[in-house]
């Protein structure tokens, strides 16, 4: 097993990105035949009901985690919320999932969309840099 510090965590919900603010986080590559990863989020207890709904439904969710360094690109996961532990006014959320195949051509797709939107020069550069950081969902036109 390999353990990493998780610096950021987002859920991709119906074309909406829900950022979950972390107090702390850890991610573990189990390095097993099922290629499973364990993510533990430590966050405010205001998210308890939100995550409890996913435990009840058992629904798989697309997620992104920033691992080890703030400048790393978010790693895409398909995850299921496994359990929640209350700790005073905080919660620990245990999530299990698999790393998804990263889109190899994200930069090209993003640039194409921004050019189609008519962005040029400094405006194009700023939108591209922001898009590479935030990784909004793009539709592949293939």
Walk along the chain (142 residues) in steps of 10 and give the mean pLDDT of each run: 95 90 96 90 97 94 92 89 97 95 71 90 91 73 45
What pLDDT score was predicted for residue 132? 82
Give the chain's domain count. Answer: 2
Q: Note whether 73 and 27 are same-domain residues.
A: yes
Of residues 58, 73, 61, the one with CA closest to residue 8: 73
Q: Note whether 20 and 79 are same-domain residues.
A: yes
Q: Note whether 93 and 110 are same-domain residues.
A: no
Q: Which domain holds residue 12?
A: 2-99
What pLDDT score was predicted for residue 141? 47
Tell me phi and psi for residue 81, to 5 degrees.
-75, 125
108: enclosing H helix or E strand: helix 106-116
How many Cα neighbours within 13 Å face the side chain of 21? Answer: 6
Q: What residues have CB less than 8 Å from 132, skipping those under 6 apart?
A: 73, 106, 107, 110
Dist CA 82 CA 55 (whole Å): 6
Q: Note whether 129 and 92 are same-domain residues.
A: no
25: enclosing H helix or E strand: strand 24-29
Q: Note whether 116 and 91 are same-domain residues.
A: no
Of residues 78, 95, 84, 96, the one with CA closest to residue 46: 84
What pLDDT score was predicted for residue 77? 93
Whether the CB-CB separation of 30 and 37 falls below 8 Å is answered with yes
Q: Note whether 86 and 25 are same-domain residues.
A: yes
Can you give the pTM of this predicted structure? 0.72
Q: Note whether 50 and 78 are same-domain residues.
A: yes
């Amino acid at each position: 097993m390999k353990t990493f510090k998780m610096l950021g965590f987002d859920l991709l919900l119906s074309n909406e990105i829900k950022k979950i603010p972390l107090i702390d986080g850890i991610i573990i590559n189990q390095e097993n035949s099922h290629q499973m990863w364990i993510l533990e989020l430590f966050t405010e207890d205001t998210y308890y009901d939100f995550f409890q709904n996913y435990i009840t439904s058992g629904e798989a969710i697309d997620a992104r985690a920033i691992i080890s360094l703030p400048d790393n690109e978010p790693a895409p996961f398909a995850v299921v919320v496994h359990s929640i532990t209350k700790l005073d006014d905080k919660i620990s959320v245990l999530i299990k999932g698999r790393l998804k195949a990263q889109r190899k051509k994200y930069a090209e797709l993003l640039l194409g969309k921004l050019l189609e939107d008519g962005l040029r020069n400094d405006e194009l550069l700023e939108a591209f840099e922001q898009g590479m950081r935030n990784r909004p969902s793009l539709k592949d036109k293939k």
